[in-house]
Amino acid sequence: MKRLIAGAALMAVSLGAFAAQAADKVTLQLKWVTQAQFAGYYVAKEKGFYEEAGLDVTINPGGPDIAPPQVIAGGGADVIVDWMPSALASREKGVPLVNIAQPYKRSGMMLTCRKETGITSPADFPGKTLGVWFFGNEYPFLSWMSKLGIPTTGGPKGVTVLKQGFNVDPLLQKQADCISTMTYNEYWQVIEAGVKPEDLVVFKYEEQGVATLEDGLYVLEAKLADPKFVETMAKFVKASMKGWDYARAHPDEAVKIVLDNDATGAQTEGHQKTMMEEVNKLTEGSTGVLDPADYERTVKTIMTGGSDPVITKAPVGAWTHAVTDKM
């Protein structure tokens, strides 16, 4: 009997080991550092949603010197989080990225200005200095200025573009009249620094009609020819969306999971709770399936006017429902 029990136990251990070995490995490259912006993925991992789907997922945080398109092109990730303007620009430059899912339904990008500058509408931008993020984040801004017919080369009829670091110092130190902010992050950094909301003027890209899709999931086009890869990505997206649903239903727990995964210890609970609240507004209603109308709107926005558009021609094959159709 003891031999039978021992044998059964050994078989159970062996089966468990086999299951662990059989799990499909997936490496996700985030667009930025560990924070509530990516809560759905961390929640899916910590709550076991990926494991239940037979996946072994590694989540790599990003940073100011990390460009997800370059990472995946170099074989450092299977799937990346990126903004669509950046992904489409990368595609035109030779990195064949394809959107396989869109967890973020709305844009959180905006321009935040000091009211004392006299800026009350975009018509007041000429002659002003505006802080802009680069490393692929500049495309929505450049498209907006192109649509407005405002040069980004300075002068009284144009705007002076300040290459903004990933902080809010240019606004606080009055080096710029406006800076780039996200509804869920930098805007609240300005508030936390002591600036009152009534002393600010904000221009949300969504309200200005120039919003583009953010935080989509992208893979290399060639990988989609492999049915096994498509199946793995379908499981990954489905589990990730389960993570996002859980984060909206349990924001405080989601924040705790994010903080537990922040190896730097730089994030604070208060800021992450605010971020989680705002991020949940952007993912609400999304099933992960890309709406072609949202895609077309993004393409139209970044191709609008100007002598130096983000992309020079309408992309072909830049998105697919092949993955989400299998969820």
Over residues 94-108, the pLDDT tens digits come to 999 999 999 999 999
8 Å CB contact between 276 and 322: no
Task: In whole angstroms, give the CA distance from residue 290 to residue 273.
Answer: 27
Task: In whole angstroms, give the CA distance from residue 97 to residue 84.
Answer: 10
Could you tell me the domains of the chain?
Answer: 23-105+213-326 (3.40.190.10), 109-204 (3.40.190.10)
8 Å CB contact between 192 and 185: no
Can you tell me which residue has the tokens 């890869």? 229
End-to-end Cα distance, the chain: 45
* Statement: residue 136 has pLDDT above 80: no
* Statement: residue 89 has pLDDT above 60: yes
pLDDT higher for 258 or 301?
Answer: 258
The tens digit of pLDDT for each residue in 153-173 reads: 999 999 999 999 889 999 999
pLDDT higher for 292 or 8?
Answer: 292
**CA nearest to 35, candidates 189, 219, 184:** 184
Q: Tokens at residue 81, please?
A: 């989080």
How many residues comprise the chain?
A: 327
8 Å CB contact between 135 and 219: no
* Statement: residue 18 has pLDDT above 60: no
Task: In whole angstroms, give the CA distance from residue 248 to residue 296.
Answer: 28
